Amino acid sequence: MSRIQDQVKEYFSFELTHVDKNSKARAGVIRTPNGDIPTPVFMPVGTHGAVKALQPSVLEDMDTKIILSNTYHLHLSPGSDLIKKAGGLHKWMNWPRPILTDSGGFQVFSLQKKAIKEEGAEFRDQKGKSILLSPETSIEIQQNLGSDIMMAFDECIPYPASKKYTKDSIDRTHRWLDRCISSWTNPKQALFGIIQGSTYDEYRSECAEELIKRDLPGYAIGGVSVGEGPELMEKIVTYTAPLMPVDKPRYVMGVGNPEDLLMIWENGIDMSDCIIPTKFARGGTLFTNRGKIRIKHKNYRRDFYPIDPNCDCYTCKNFTRSYVKHLFDSNEILGAILATAHNIAFYKSLAERAREAILENRFTEFKKEFLENYNSSKNN
C-alpha cells in the first residue's frame, strides 16, 4: 500500500463535531488546503469549471464553501494540461476555495457510445475520436486540475442490473481503485473511494469492506439517483451509510431534491451534489420553503412578493416574482442568473439550518417541520 494515505493526513482531515441524539444526522468539519467545509454540505456543480449563470464572486458572497467540477468534460475541453499550465483549476477559474472533481465514472454510465473493459472506458467524442479514460488517466487529469478532493474512477452501475453484472462490476471497480491509488502522488489532494453494488445489500457490503481496507481519506455512495426511485434510494443509503467509517467524510453522489437531502443527512451523510438547483433554475423552477415555483406560470404576472419571503438572498431582497417571470418571458439572461442565485442560496440555507438543528439535537423536528411546509402547497 502506498505511503500517500499517511502523507495526505497532513493536509486533509475530518472532525466529527456532533451526532444528533435522536437520529444518525451528524455535523462536522472537512479541512482542506483551500479552506474548511462545515457539514452537512451541498456542493453546487460547475461541470466545465463554472457554475452555470453565476460569477464566482456571487458564490463567494454567498460564502459557498466548495464546488464540483468534472474530469471528463474538462479533459475534452480545454484539456487538463492547459489548466495545469495555467496554475491549476483554482487559479484558472479564480476560485480560491475547495473543489471536488468527479472522476468521469458517471460518464461511463450516462454516455451511450462507450465500451467498458479492464483497461478503462472507451468513448467516442463529438468528432468520433476514440478516447480511453482509465484509472491512471482519471487520476492524472485530476492531479493536473489540482482539486482538493479527487474521486476514484469506477463504473456507475445502471439500474436495473443483474447480480452477475453487479458482481463483475464491483470486482473491476476494486481493481481500478488500486490502480488509482498507485497513480496518486500529490498528498495535497484527497482521494475518495466510491461504494457501488446496485440494489444488492451483499454487494454494497462487500464493496464497502474492500474500500475501507484501503484506508482512504473519504468514501462515497455511488450508483443512486440513476432511475431506481426514492424508495430504493433510501433503502440503499440506509443500509450502506452505517458501513462507512465514522471518522471519514461520507458523500452521496448526485442527490439533489430537498426531501432526498434530508433523508441522506438523517442517515449520517455529510456531502452531496446535484445539477438540480442550477438546471431547474435555468428552466424557471425555483425552490422555496413552501415547495417549488414554476415562475413562467401566468399566476405570477402580477405577483409582487419575493420568490420566497423567508429568503434573504440577493434575488429575494431586490426583485419580485412578477419581475423574474418577465425576465423569463422576455428571454433575458438575467432571469437565469437571478433564479440560479436564489436556488443555490436556498440549498445552502437548507444545509446550514440542518446543521444548526443537528447541533441542537432537533434534526428530526426540523425535517418534519420543513417537509410539512414544503409539501403544504403545490405551486404550478
What positions carry a catalytic annotation? 102, 273
Based on the number of CB atoms within 10 Å of its own CB, is 302 exposed (0-12), middle (13-18) or buried (19 or more)?
A: exposed
Was 311 annotated as part of a binding site?
Answer: yes
Was 154 annotated as part of a binding site?
Answer: yes
Sign of CA dihedral 81, 86, 89, 93: negative
**Helix (H) or strand (E) run with residue 19 in it:** strand 13-19
351 contact partners, CB below 8 Å, separation of at least 6 = 40, 41, 42, 261
CA atoms within 13 Å, Cβ hemisphere of 91: 10
CA separation for the pair 311, 290 (Å, rounded): 11
Was 313 annotated as part of a binding site?
Answer: yes
DSSP 45: B
- With cell 438523517, the residue in question is 266
Asked if 31 and 314 touch (Cβ cutoff 8 Å), the reply is no
Was 207 annotated as part of a binding site?
Answer: no
List the one residue out of 318, 191, 311, 172 whose CA is nearest residue 251.
191
Was 223 annotated as part of a binding site?
Answer: yes
Was 156 annotated as part of a binding site?
Answer: no
At 266, list the grid cell: 438523517
**Helix (H) or strand (E) run with residue 32 in it:** strand 26-32
CA separation for the pair 166, 174 (Å, rounded): 12
- With cell 403545490, the residue in question is 378
Was 103 annotated as part of a binding site?
Answer: yes
Was 297 annotated as part of a binding site?
Answer: no
Was 316 annotated as part of a binding site?
Answer: yes
- Indicate the annotated binding residues: 102-106, 154, 196, 223, 311, 313, 316, 342
- Indicate the annotated binding residues for Zn(2+): 311, 313, 316, 342
- Indicate the annotated binding residues for substrate: 102-106, 154, 196, 223
